[in-house]
């Protein structure tokens, strides 16, 4: 299974003061029947050969949004070949609503595989996959996107994960607890190993739109107690860069440096955030 980066931090990472969740977060709801998954078929499992998976979401007929770190083998540090990646839309109990092989991939140029789990990498942990064939006509609708959550909006996440690799789970309501100046969101949403790349949604006028992608999970100190949190990044110009890379007429696309993983490192001394590799 692809490992969702383990991250330990305190909310001093945030440039804006942390806030308490507005209301109690909703529990995870398994989407393991046709009725339950209806409307969420655009979320799928991104499989990497026989080695593991992440979560991804369709944002056009041919484009899947996920996390950049998913595209690297955790053991070797090598980037997966595009032809070994498959997007399984609405995958549950061994079957997908539609499946698509990957033609090309673009990783944000600000993401550095050698940099490990750092604020810099979380802020650019985005990848865009281009499928070989469009998914229109298969009953899979692409999701719209927003740059970031609006003030006061609650968020939700649909993800696969440890112990639920055969069907996604919906957490309909969780909160943004803080935002760092580089667009890193600290969220109360429940994620686990395999949830990397999962879409973070807001629902406006009955329509779900993606406002972030899950990058990492960790611990934070809120009100004097330790709580589990998740980390993502706002989209906006970052997503525009990925779209532009795949639109290049000469079929070039962005590649991040291939490198072996380095040792854990402390981002600051005596306080702030400490980031650890799994």
Percent of the chain at pLDDT exceeding 90: 58
Is the pLDDT score of 244 beyond 70? yes
Mean pLDDT, to the nearest integer, of 247-274? 39
Confidence band for 267, pLDDT divided at 50, 70 and 90: very low
pLDDT value of position 64 = 98
- Where do the domains of the chain lie? 5-246
Is the pLDDT score of 263 beyond 70? no
Mean pLDDT, to the nearest integer, of 37-62? 94
Q: pLDDT digits over 92-127, tens only?
A: 999 999 999 999 999 999 999 888 888 999 999 999
Pick the more confident residue, 31 or 226: 31
Which residues fall within 8 angstroms of residue 62, CB to CB, at 6 or more apart?
100, 130, 131, 133, 134, 135
Strands 52-58 and 63-66: antiparallel
Is the pLDDT score of 265 beyond 70? no
For the domain 5-246, what is the CATH code?
2.40.10.10
What pTM was estimated for this model as a whole? 0.83
Average pLDDT, the chain: 81
Confidence band for 206, pLDDT divided at 50, 70 and 90: confident
């Amino acid at each position: 299974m692809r490992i969702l980066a383990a991250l330990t931090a305190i909310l001093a990472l945030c440039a804006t003061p942390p806030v308490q969740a507005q209301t109690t977060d909703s529990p995870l709801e398994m989407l393991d029947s046709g009725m339950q998954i209806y409307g969420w078929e655009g979320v799928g499992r991104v499989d990497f050969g026989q080695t593991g998976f992440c979560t991804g979401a369709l944002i056009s007929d041919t484009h899947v949004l996920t996390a950049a770190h998913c595209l690297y083998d955790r053991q070797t540090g090598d980037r997966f070949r595009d032809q070994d990646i498959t997007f399984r839309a609405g995958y549950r109990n061994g079957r997908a609503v539609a499946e698509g092989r990957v033609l090309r991939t673009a990783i944000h140029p600000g993401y550095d595989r050698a940099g490990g789990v750092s604020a810099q990498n979380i802020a650019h942990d985005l990848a865009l996959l281009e499928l070989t064939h469009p998914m229109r006509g298969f009953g899979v609708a692409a999701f719209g996107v927003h740059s970031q959550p609006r003030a006061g909006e609650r968020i939700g996440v649909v993800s696969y994960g440890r112990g639920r690799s055969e069907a996604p789970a919906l957490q309909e309501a969780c909160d943004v607890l803080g935002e760092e100046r580089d667009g890193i969101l600290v969220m109360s949403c429940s994620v686990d190993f395999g949830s990397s790349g999962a879409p973070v949604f807001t629902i406006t006028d009955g329509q779900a739109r993606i406002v972030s992608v899950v990058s990492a999970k960790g611990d934070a100190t809120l009100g004097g107690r330790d709580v589990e949190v998740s980390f993502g990044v706002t989209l906006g110009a970052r997503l525009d860069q990925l779209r532009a890379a795949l639109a290049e007429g000469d079929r070039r696309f962005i590649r991040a440096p291939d490198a072996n993983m380095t040792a854990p490192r402390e981002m600051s001394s005596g306080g702030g955030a400490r980031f650890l590799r799994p």
